[in-house]
Amino acid sequence: MGKTIVVTGGAGFIGSNFVYYMLDKHPDYKIVCVDCLTYAGNLSTLKTALENPNFRFEKLNICDRAGVEKLFKEVKPDIVVNFAAESHVDRSIKTPGIFVDTNIKGTQTLMDLCRELEIPRFHQVSTDEVYGDLPLDRPDLFFTESTPIHASSPYSASKAGADLLVLAYHRTYQLPVTISRCSNNYGPYHFPEKLIPLMIINALHDQPLPVYGDGLNVRDWLYVEDHCKAIDLIIHDDRLGEVYNVGGHNEMANLDIVKLILKKLGKSEDLITFVADRKGHDRRYAIDPTKIKQQLGWFPETKFADGIEKTIDWYLSHEAWWQEIISGDYQNYYAKMYGGK
Ligand code: NAD
Ligand code: DAU
């Protein structure tokens, strides 16, 4: 029988890709999106989903206990997948409070309701950033699920706090939970403040491409659809209290990504501008995804060469989507964030 899945943060980058993935993969499921539409949430992203009778959107803050309780009582979810978060490291350095509110207190509110209403499954979408970083000169080291939590930024500390609460709710109350800790995603609907879309859009406008520090920081890039596939596998498996690392075995230095984007768009490397480094900037992330491969048969299907091509094409063919974003309040953010660098 078709399940009902509540997807929080479904108007953001990964959540919206997950909504589309699930509507397509499970046509008998009902998908209910809970999102309060912060600057990062965009209803136009869900335009096609809103035409699907199996999809419903509720503008709600995950910290709004009464509102979420009412909704959960009405839709009786089989699974809650929590994507809702403040997700940008640079913003967390400027305004940490909201990260604690949404990422920790919001997660706790959802879990309290799952517990009280006996919702059969809660899945927390977490990040590899909870492990801190790895040195550049030790390519033999990777994050495994037993790597100690060692967060660097207010963002990653808030995600780590949430992870600890999720595991504590499992141990103390036997809440049926799982956690996925994924590396950097890229693909359609990625908000333009993040590295890859920011560089594509600046290059298209012949604007400087701001590279932090020496540009040698390494991230492990995964095409967003592969992340959605991993979560779909995890939430349909019976093992509870498990943490799964999800990563693409695709480490790349920021500078190499930026040069690749410039080459694909036929733009000059003269646009690259080195700016002041991010405070506390993590040097390298690298995921060991052995556990999810062995237990659930997951592997990253999209090669970076194909994924980045598809992503650039998507930005070229969806200019209206990002123009609407960058022409609004985003301008003030950009001026404040990069003005002094
Ligand atoms: P995003 O910033 O693009 O989207 C976040 C969404 O959550 C937005 O739609 C926003 O409106 C909504 N939201 C924020 N606060 C809310 C609240 N209090 N109540 C309801 N909705 C709220 O983020 P993303 O990049 O799609 O990340 C989604 C999740 O995946 C996050 O939990 C993030 O920590 C995690 N993650 C992201 C990446 C990545 O590379 N982007 C990698 C690993 C894990
Ligand atoms: O690893 C998973 C994480 O990936 C997620 O948990 C976060 O939600 C997501 O935002 C992302 O975090 P990062 O900090 O790695 O992503 P971001 O796109 O902000 O930056 C990627 C790298 O590029 C990082 O080393 C900083 C650098 N950078 C970023 C921006 C925005 C620049 O050099 N210039 C920039 O203008």
Domain extents in the chain: 4-190+220-251+281-303
pLDDT given for residue 172 in this prediction: 98
pLDDT given for residue 331 in this prediction: 75
- What would the two tokens of residue 167 be? 């595991």
pLDDT tier at 338, thresholds 50, 70, 90: confident
| Ligand 2 proximal residues by C-beta, below 6 Å | 87-89, 127-129, 183-184, 194-195, 198, 210-212, 217, 219, 254, 278, 285
pLDDT given for residue 238 in this prediction: 97
The 8-class DSSP code of residue 340 comes to: T
Cα–Cα dist 314/311, whole Å: 5
pLDDT given for residue 314 in this prediction: 98
Cα–Cα dist 337/341, whole Å: 8
Question: For residues 199 and 209, is the Cβ–Cβ distance under 8 A?
Answer: yes
- What would the two tokens of residue 63 be? 């910290």
pLDDT given for residue 198 in this prediction: 98
Question: Among the residues of the chain, which ranges form H helices?
Answer: 13-25, 47-50, 65-75, 89-94, 97-99, 107-116, 154-173, 195-204, 224-235, 254-264, 290-296, 304-317, 319-326, 330-339
pLDDT given for residue 140 in this prediction: 96
| Ligand 1 proximal residues by C-beta, below 6 Å | 8-9, 11-15, 35-38, 40-41, 61-63, 83-87, 102, 106, 125, 127, 159, 182, 184-185, 191
Protein residue closest via CA to atom 11 of ligand 2 = 184
- pLDDT reading at 330 higher than 80: no
**Mind listing the pLDDT tens digit for each residue in 18-75?**
999 999 999 999 999 999 999 999 999 999 999 999 999 999 999 999 999 999 999 9
Buried b / exposed e across 3-24, counting CB within 10 Å, b at 16+?
A: bbbbbbbbbbbbbbbbbbbbbe
Cα–Cα dist 129/172, whole Å: 25
Cα–Cα dist 19/58, whole Å: 14
Q: What is the mean pLDDT of residues 79-100?
A: 98
Which atom of ligand 2 is closest in space to residue 282's alpha carbon? 25
Mean pLDDT estimate for the chain: 97
pLDDT given for residue 332 in this prediction: 76
Cα–Cα dist 197/211, whole Å: 13
Instruction: Determine what percent of the chain is predicted with pLDDT higher than 90.
Output: 95
- pLDDT reading at 239 higher than 90: yes
For ligand 1, mutation pick of 16, 38, 109, 322 (most atoms within 8 Å of CB): 38
pLDDT given for residue 334 in this prediction: 78
Q: What is the mean pLDDT of residues 116-137?
A: 98
Cα–Cα dist 40/98, whole Å: 13
**Mind listing the pLDDT tens digit for each residue in 298-319?**
999 999 999 999 999 999 999 9
- pLDDT reading at 329 higher than 90: no
Cα separations in angstroms, 314 against 40, 190, 209, 268: 18, 10, 20, 21
Q: How many CA atoms lie within 13 A of 215 on its CB side?
A: 13
Is 101 in a helix, a strand, or coil? Answer: helix
Buried b / exposed e across 244-271, counting CB within 10 Å, b at 16+?
A: bbbbbebbbbbbebbbbbbebeebeeeb
C-alpha of residue 88 to centroid of ligand 2, in Å: 7
pLDDT given for residue 29 in this prediction: 98
Q: What is the mean pLDDT of residues 323-331?
A: 84
- What would the two tokens of residue 97 be? 């409070």
| CATH class in words for 4-190+220-251+281-303 | alpha beta
What burial class does residue 178 get, using C-beta atoms within 10 Å of its C-beta: 0-12 exposed, 13-18 middle, 19+ buried?
A: buried
Cα–Cα dist 222/179, whole Å: 17
pLDDT given for residue 335 in this prediction: 80
pLDDT tier at 328, thresholds 50, 70, 90: confident
Is 21 in a helix, a strand, or coil? Answer: helix
Rg (CA), the chain: 19
Q: What is the mean pLDDT of residues 319-324?
A: 95
- pLDDT reading at 275 higher than 80: yes
Residues annotated as part of the active site: 128-129, 155
Q: What is the mean pLDDT of residues 236-258?
A: 97
- pLDDT reading at 262 higher than 90: yes
- pLDDT reading at 16 higher than 90: yes
